Amino acid sequence: MLKLLKIGQGQSAVVLTCDRCGKRIDNPNVACYTWREYHRTHIDEDAQLHSLKELVTYPLYVDDGKLFTLHKGTCFTQFQAANGGSEYRWPLVELVYLPGLLINNLGMTFAYAEAQFHLLDTMGV
């Protein structure tokens, strides 16, 4: 989950926390992001979903599109079990890819994002 932490003398930091344990994620190598997807076989068994499947393809399989950030291992496993478990597919993507994907999908360049970061840093925000 994306959160704002208050630190120091009125300063704040935008951070990611684990959606299972709530702790701050400060090492991208031990974390991942995921979302829920319907199993294709379940959609085929449900007549209403099956008719929708004929109108829409891939997006139908994504369950509301909410993204979860989690520590790998126990947090990931426990989060899955508490949120539908094997009833859904749970793609696991390394967290290290997320910032680059966001920069790209926001229509920015890495150089522009870096320049804005340094500008913000000089303002003490």
- 53 and 1 Cβ atoms separated by less than 8 Å: no
Give the x/- contact pattern for Zn ion in 6-45, rule: CB under 5 A.
Answer: ------------x-xx------------------------
- 32 and 70 Cβ atoms separated by less than 8 Å: yes
With CB atoms as reference, the residue minimizing the distance to Zn ion is 18
Span of 2-10, 74-82, 92-100, 108-116 interacting with Zn ion by CB under 5 A: 74-82
Instruction: State the pairing for strand pair 2-7/11-16.
Output: antiparallel
CA distance 100 to 102: 5
Q: How far does Cα 69 stand from its chain's mean position?
A: 5
Nearer to Zn ion, 20 or 36 (CB): 20
CA distance 112 to 106: 11
CB of residue 26 to Zn ion, shortest distance in Å: 12
Span of 4-12, 37-45, 47-55, 65-73 interacting with Zn ion by CB under 5 A: 65-73
- Residues in contact with Zn ion by CB under 5 A are 18, 20-21, 71, 75
